[in-house]
């Protein structure tokens, strides 16, 4: 039920961090995986057979998806994991520029990838949009990220409606605090590290591998009747009231 054997998957944001782990894990579950990010190479080699392509998801991505579909026959799984978190900025012009760049990479680009993949997705296909707990709770000092991830959460539900009749499922995977480059600063800061740890029910940060089971579930036939759902993987962060 959880096997991805015979499926073709595209994972964006896969040169490192969460996207890398999901690409590698989805390949281990049997899929043919095409991993995309801007870096010329992934930071470290994949453990499983993964085809890596250097590309910017905020550029013209359509021809690359067409090429993948022509080479591999179709696209069964799309994981939109590419994302950026830009620092909060007091100065107006930089704040606006950061906001617009956040929306472009974190919201418009996943939609562009959905548009590019859809013509090649047979019934039974699955799209997973990596959102964030920042799509359901307010986090400080990053308005563009909050707006983009909240938007991606609702884009997921809208596309679940639009694509449902074609048998394509669209779900969101919402991580809590996971130790990657994106969170390296707060992980290294003893106070912030402890604050984030204590905000979970499980009293620990997440690892990239904590997301893999949920991703395989959403990608596989095990979730055949689930679409438009937010699967929150946050160690209980959003369940907890008093910290």
Ligand X SMILES: NC(=O)c1ccc[n+]([C@@H]2O[C@H](COP(=O)([O-])OP(=O)(O)OC[C@H]3O[C@@H](n4cnc5c(N)ncnc54)[C@H](OP(=O)(O)O)[C@@H]3O)[C@@H](O)[C@H]2O)c1
Report the catalytic residues: 145
Please identify which residue in 67, 162, 181, 203 interacts with ligand X, judged by CB under 6 A: 181
Nearer to ligand X, 10 or 57 (CB): 57
Quick check: 21 and 50 in contact, CB under 8 A? no
Nearer to ligand X, 6 or 140 (CB): 140
How far apart (Å, rounded) are the C-alpha atoms in residues 90 and 67? 43
DSSP states of 38-76 as a string?
Answer: SSSS-SS--SS-EEEEE--TTS--HHHHHHHHHHHS---
Nearer to ligand X, 6 or 138 (CB): 138
Token representation of residue 124? 């039974």
Map residue 141 onto helix, strand or coil. Answer: coil
Stretch that binds ligand X, among 50-58, 95-103, 112-120, 153-161 (CB under 6 A): 50-58
Q: Is 41 in the site for ligand X (CB under 6 A)?
A: no
Please identify which residue in 29, 50, 81, 116 interacts with ligand X, judged by CB under 6 A: 81
| Block residue for tokens 């591999």 | 72
CA distances from 111 to 13, 57, 89, 114, 148 (A): 14, 10, 26, 5, 11
Please identify which residue in 183, 220, 223, 227 interacts with ligand X, judged by CB under 6 A: 183
Question: Minimum Å distance from CB 211 to ligand X?
Answer: 8
Residue 238, φ and ψ in degrees, nearest 5: -80, -10
Nearer to ligand X, 85 or 125 (CB): 85
DSSP 22: H
How far apart (Å, rounded) are the C-alpha atoms in residues 47 and 24? 7
How far apart (Å, rounded) are the C-alpha atoms in residues 114 and 153? 14
Please identify which residue in 11, 15, 78, 116 interacts with ligand X, judged by CB under 6 A: 15
Please identify which residue in 8, 9, 11, 17 interacts with ligand X, judged by CB under 6 A: 17
Q: Is 151 in the site for ligand X (CB under 6 A)?
A: no
Task: Determine how β-strand 126-130 pairs with β-strand 230-233.
Answer: unpaired
Stretch that binds ligand X, among 25-33, 55-63, 118-126, 156-164 (CB under 6 A): 55-63
Quick check: 143 and 200 in contact, CB under 8 A? no
Nearer to ligand X, 181 or 203 (CB): 181
Question: Minimum Å distance from CB 130 to ligand X?
Answer: 4
Q: Is 13 in the site for ligand X (CB under 6 A)?
A: yes
Please report, as residue ranges, which positions from 95 to 134 form the binding site for ligand X (by CB under 6 A): 105, 130, 132
Please identify which residue in 58, 66, 108, 238 interacts with ligand X, judged by CB under 6 A: 58
Q: Which residues here bind ligand X, judged by CB under 6 A?
A: 12-19, 37-39, 56-58, 81-84, 105, 130, 132, 175, 177-178, 180-183
């Amino acid at each position: 039920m959880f096997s991805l054997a015979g499926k073709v998957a595209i994972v964006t944001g896969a040169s490192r961090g969460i996207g890398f782990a999901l690409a590698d894990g989805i390949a281990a579950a049997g899929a043919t995986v095409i991993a995309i990010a801007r870096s010329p190479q992934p930071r470290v080699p994949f453990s499983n057979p993964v085809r890596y392509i250097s590309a910017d998801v905020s550029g013209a991505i359509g021809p690359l998806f067409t090429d993948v579909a022509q080479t591999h026959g179709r696209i069964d799984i799309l994981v939109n994991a590419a994302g950026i978190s830009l620092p909060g900025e007091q100065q107006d012009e930089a704040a606006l520029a950061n906001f617009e760049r956040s929306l472009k990479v974190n919201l418009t680009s996943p939609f562009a990838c959905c548009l590019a993949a859809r013509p090649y997705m047979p019934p039974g296909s699955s799209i997973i949009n990596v959102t964030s707990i920042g799509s359901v709770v307010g986090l400080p000092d990053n308005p563009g990220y909050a707006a983009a991830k909240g938007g991606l959460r609702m884009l997921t539900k809208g596309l679940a409606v639009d694509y449902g009749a074609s048998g394509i499922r669209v779900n969101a995977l919402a991580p809590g605090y996971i130790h990657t480059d994106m969170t390296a600063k707060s992980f290294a800061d003893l106070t912030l590290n402890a604050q984030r740890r204590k905000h979970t029910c499980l009293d620990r940060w997440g690892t990239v591998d904590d997301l893999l089971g949920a991703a395989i579930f959403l990608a596989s036939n095990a979730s055949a009747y689930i679409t438009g759902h937010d699967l929150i993987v946050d160690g209980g962060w959003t369940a907890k009231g008093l910290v």
